[in-house]
Amino acid sequence: MPTVTVHFGGICTFFMAGQHAELDGFCRVVLVNAAEGRTVAGHDIPPHVAMVQIGNGQPITVHGLHMRLTSSGELPLLTEFAERCPNLTLLVGEQNSVPLAPPSQEVVFAGDPEQAALYFDFKGGTLHPAINEQGAVVTMLVMQGDEVVLETVAFRGGAEPPAFPSRTIFTEDTTIWVSNDDAIEQTSELDFCLHYLTAEQVPSDPPIPSETLRKRLPIIPRLPHWFGAIGAGCSNSTYP
């Protein structure tokens, strides 16, 4: 029975199964398109590059890609993840009187390559939040099953065809790396504001998770350099 392990690092925003009817029971990880940099609530955020690496292959930059991982194995165990990963709704609720707006249809559901670089959907497996040696919250998805399948398709209007097979059936243990990180490795805490682009309306003063929250998580050592160097401002988040 193969095990597929997916590591998510950088600006990866998790939308949980059962929270959004549009996802039909899947979880979705959204990597917003910040390839040219973005301005969020008056903050100029430098370019971020969305990349995927499968197994021992080279990291490939993606721009408008939809991946879906399924398994014949167990359902997700989300309790630990939901309680320990930075939660955009809770962060806004703690610091603002106005609650966080609903998810943006254009960014989260429409498959618009100008808004999102990657959707990574999954059904099955177990999520484990942790931090890398730079203090960034990263997430590990572990999926097992007699058949673990990865399907890949470009967004409609995507800039280029998929650089990956349209359907991959994993027959042996495999690691997948997914990241959306500062292109110049000069992460600022303000990079976290990119997560709020997944909301219909960005808060006027987007809150950032505290170092105390991140320190509650275990450290994952010995990550590949391009993944382990992700700074704390590029932590994962969940919404809601």
88-97 pLDDT per residue, tens: 999 998 877 6
Q: Give the pLDDT score at 158.
A: 60
Which tokens is 20 given?
């959004």
Give residue 183's pLDDT: 79
CB 47 within 8 A of CB 35: yes
How many domains is the chain built from?
1
- Please answer whether residues 131 and 220 qualify as being in contact, where contact means their C-beta atoms are separated by less than 8 angstroms: yes
pLDDT tens-digit profile of 145-198?
Answer: 889 999 999 998 665 667 889 999 999 999 999 999 987 766 789 999 999 999
Q: What pLDDT, on the 0 to 100 scale, is given for residue 73?
A: 67
What is this structure's pTM? 0.94
Question: Given a cut of 80, is residue 226 above it in pLDDT?
Answer: no
Q: What is the mean pLDDT of residues 6-22?
A: 92
Token reading at 224: 């590949």
Instruction: Report which of 169, 170, 152 is spatially closest to residue 161, judged by C-alpha positions.
Output: 152
Name the residue range of residue 169's domain: 3-238
Closest CA to 94 of 231, 206, 170, 232: 206
Q: Report the alpha-carbon distance of residue 34 to residue 186 in Å, rounded.
A: 15
Mean pLDDT estimate for the chain: 88
Separation between Cα atoms, residue 86 and residue 103, nearest integer Å: 16
- Percent of the chain at pLDDT exceeding 90: 60
